[in-house]
A and B are shown apart, each in its own frame.
Chain A
C-alpha cells in the first residue's frame, strides 16, 4: 500500500482517531467476583474490549498425568467468542488462540507461588466477548485480578498494555484500527512488585530508540492500571465489610426467616455444619490434596458450594 493512500491515524493536533493523546489510555472498567461458581473471577472493559475471566483452583487435576510433582500446573485458555470479531470466527480455537493462551499463562505464572501447590491444577479461563484491539493485554490484567480474587497468594499484581507505532509516533494502548493499520505493536505485561516484564512481544518496525521509548511508556501505563486493579480489590473487601456491618445491625431476625427446614432433618443438618467447620466433609474421601488447599470461597451456602 502506498503511503498517501493510507488513512491518517493521528491528526495535526496530535489527536488519534478516537480523540486520545499519544500517551492516553482508553477507559478501563474492572470488576471482580462476578461469577458465582468460580473460585475467582474478573471482568474488564478496556475500550470496547469486554473480557471475562474465571479462575478455578487450586483443584484436583484431570487428567492425572498432567500433575507436576513440585508445583501446581497453571493452565490457561484464551478464547475469542465467535461474535467478538468483525467476521464470525469458527468456535474451534485457532493457532492464534493457542499461542496467546500459552503467552498469557506464562505472563501470570511467574506471579503465582506455584511451588506451594504441588500436584494440583490452577485453571484460568479467558473468554473474550467483544474484541477491540489489545485483548491479550486486557486478558492479563483481568486474569491477574481473578487470581487475586480467588485468594491465591501472588508475588505481585500483573498489569498489561500494548504500546505501538502509528504514523511514525509511539502511542499508548493501540485501538483495533491502530493495531491493524499502524506500523508496530508491542504488548507488554509487568509484575508491579519489582517492575519485571512477564510478557513481551513485538511486531512491526521499530528503531532501538523507538523501542526503548515504547517500553518506558508502556511500563509507566502499567502502574496506572495497577492502581485501578488495587482499587477494585480494596473495594471488594470494603463492600464485604459494609455488608457484614449491615447484617450485624439487622440483628438476628434474618436467621429466623431462613427457609423452614423440616424437623426430621435438624440433627443431620447440625452434623453437616460441624463437619464444615473442620473442612468440608464431602471432600474428605475424594482427594487428600483438596484438604491441604485453602478454601477460597466466601461463606457460600452449603448447596451452592459444589
Chain B
C-alpha cells in the first residue's frame, strides 16, 4: 500500500533481496523461508482496560485492549453477547501512516482478525447474555499498532487473543425492579478455545512466512490462515494482486496449522504479566 515515496522499494533493493532468497535460501534477517520472528506477549499492561496485551513479532508491536459494556444484542441473536474488533494503524507506528478515519487496509486487518476470533468461537458469546433479548455484554477489542515492521495481521491477532484471555469482567446482578448492577467481583471472560493466525507472502515464486516490512513491500500476494487450538481452519484471507497455485496454498495451510498451534501454546504458556507498556 505505497502512499508516500518512502514506501516504494527500489529495484536494486528488490533485486538484492531476491538474490539473497535464490542464492543463499535465506532472508535479510537470517531467517529461513518458513521461520517466524521471535514472539513476546505481555498482558495486563493497561490498568483502565478490562483486559490488555502487548505483543511483539520482531520489531512489529501491537497493543490490544478490551473494554466490556452492557448493551443491546443483535436482533437475530437475542441471547448472545457481541464481539467487536477494531484496529487503528497509528501514525506513531510508521512515517507512511496518517491519522484520520480508518483506511481500507486498517479495516481489512481488523476484519481478518475478527473473523479468526469469531469463527473459532473463541469467546463464549452465549455466556455473555445478562437479560435475554434485553441486555448482553459487548466485548470491544481495540488494537493499536505502534511498531511497524510488517505482518500486522499476526501480531494483531496474537495481541487480541492474549488480551481476551487476560480479561476480567464484572459480575452482574439483576435487581427485583429489573435494573442491572455491576458488582465489584470479577470473573475471567469465558472462552471456549484459543485461536491464532499465520501470514505468508509470495514474491515471484518464493513463499515467505511472517513477512517483515521489506518483504511485505515487494510481495505480490499475501495469505493469512487462522486455526483453532484443535488445529481446525477457521479463517482465510488472500490479499494483494498476485495469485497462488493450489499446491502453494496447501503447503501454506499445513505450515500455517503448525505455526498457529505453536503460537497458541505461546499465548497459553509464555504470557508475562506486566505493569508497563515499555
Contact = CB atoms under 8 A, between A and B. Distances in A.
B277 A43 contact: yes
A83 B88 CA distance: 12
Interface stretch (A124-132, A203-211, A238-246): A124-132
* Chain A: interface size category: 35 or more
Interface residues of B, number: 52
Contacts of B278: 31, 34, 43, 52
Contacts of B98: 62
B186 to A, nearest CB: 15
Given A50-B46, A54-B92, A83 B65 contact: yes
B129 to A, nearest CB: 20
Contact of B94 (A37, A59, A84, A261): A37
A34 B95 CA distance: 15
A128 to B, nearest CB: 10
Contact of B142 (A82, A265, A286, A304): A82
Contacts of B7: 306
B23 interface: yes
B269 interface: no
A200 B180 CA distance: 42
B49 interface: yes
A82 B67 contact: yes
Nearest to B98: A62
B222 to A, nearest CB: 20
Contacts, number: 134
Contacts of B23: 262
Contacts of B13: 303
A132 B49 CA distance: 12
A129 B63 contact: yes
Interface stretch (A86-94, A161-169, A177-185, A221-229): A86-94
B246 interface: no
Interface of A: 29, 31, 34-38, 41, 43, 45, 48, 50, 52-54, 56, 59, 62, 77, 79, 81-88, 91-92, 123, 125, 127, 129-132, 259-262, 264-265, 268-269, 272, 282, 286, 303-304, 306
Given A43-B278, A83-B140, A262-B20, 15 more contacts: A31-B278, A35-B147, A37-B93, A43-B277, A48-B48, A56-B91, A82-B67, A83-B65, A123-B91, A127-B92, A129-B144, A130-B48, A261-B20, A268-B16, A269-B16
16 contacts: A35-B92, A37-B93, A37-B95, A37-B149, A38-B92, A59-B95, A62-B98, A82-B86, A88-B67, A88-B142, A127-B144, A129-B46, A129-B144, A130-B49, A132-B48, A262-B24
